[in-house]
Amino acid sequence: TPGQYVLPRSSVVATKEFVEARMTLALPARGRSIEGYRAAEIVGEGLKQAVHSALRYEALDKAALKAHIEAVVDQDALRKQLDAKGLCAFVGNGSVLPRKSGVDDRPMTKADEPNLVLFASPATMEVSIDLPHAGTVRGMGIKKGISLIIGGGFHGKSTLLQALQVGVYDKVKGDGRELVSCDPAAVKIRAEDGRYIQ
């Protein structure tokens, strides 16, 4: 199902030569017999309309498509620069880290929470990174090694960690975490309460 992440999928294959969409289709039937005329309508007209509205460039919002592609290219470029800068992660200033809810991965908005706080890097950890489309962006660079995140209750520690753990993935434009990136080899390790990790 569609979500906030840009992931390789086997349901659509796009090359310079063609776009191939793979799907299953439930045809209307009566008992063990397919209803041929209704099936022909679905395949002949319904499927044709779906293909024209979803897969043809002329039917797409060209500005939104361009913005999406540029956002993904920038995220890939950001991730590729981390190692050379001695960083394991980066969180861009202005990023929206909180999500709408525990079951809704879309970004929280001011309408959801009037006191929403956008991410701002501590001055001591702020770095600049140049991206192909967004230009120079500033944010918190997390250096390789051990970093501690401390703070009181409801100060955003878990929210920051949750954003970092998905920093290995590209996000759709408007997700709010487009400038949150981690080393592609990063993994999340969590100890049970009272136990430590060696």
pLDDT digits (tens, 9 = 90+) for 70-87: 999 999 999 999 999 999
Q: pLDDT by residue (tens digit) across 136-184?
A: 999 999 999 888 888 888 889 999 999 999 999 999 999 999 999 999 9
- The answer to whether 147 touches 86, Cβ cutoff 8 Å, is no
**Alpha-helical runs (H) found in 82-192:** 157-165
Alpha helices in 21-61 (DSSP H): 36-41, 47-55
Asked if pLDDT for residue 195 goes beyond 70, the answer is: yes
**For the whole model, what pTM was predicted?**
0.84
Split at pLDDT 50, 70, 90, the class of 1 is low
3-state secondary structure of 34: strand
CB neighbour burial string for 18-45, b if at least 16 within 10 angstroms, e if fewer: eeeeeeeeeeeeeeeeeeeeeeeebeee
Class of residue 77 by CB neighbours under 10 A (exposed 0-12, middle 13-18, buried 19+) = middle
pLDDT above 90: residue 109: yes
Residue 155's pLDDT is: 87
**104 DSSP β-pair partners:** 101
Share of the chain above pLDDT 70, in %: 98
Pairing assessment for the beta strands 12-14 and 19-21 based on DSSP bridges? antiparallel
Residue 123 predicted with pLDDT over 80: yes
Rounded to 5°, angle at Cα 196 from 195 and 198: 145
Tell me what pLDDT residue 192 has.
Answer: 78
CB atoms within 10 A of CB 168: 17
Cα separation, 162 vs 90, whole angstroms: 13
Mean of the pLDDT values across residues 23-46? 89
The mean of the pLDDT values for the chain is 92
* Average pLDDT estimate for 12-27: 88
Q: What is the pLDDT of residue 100?
A: 94
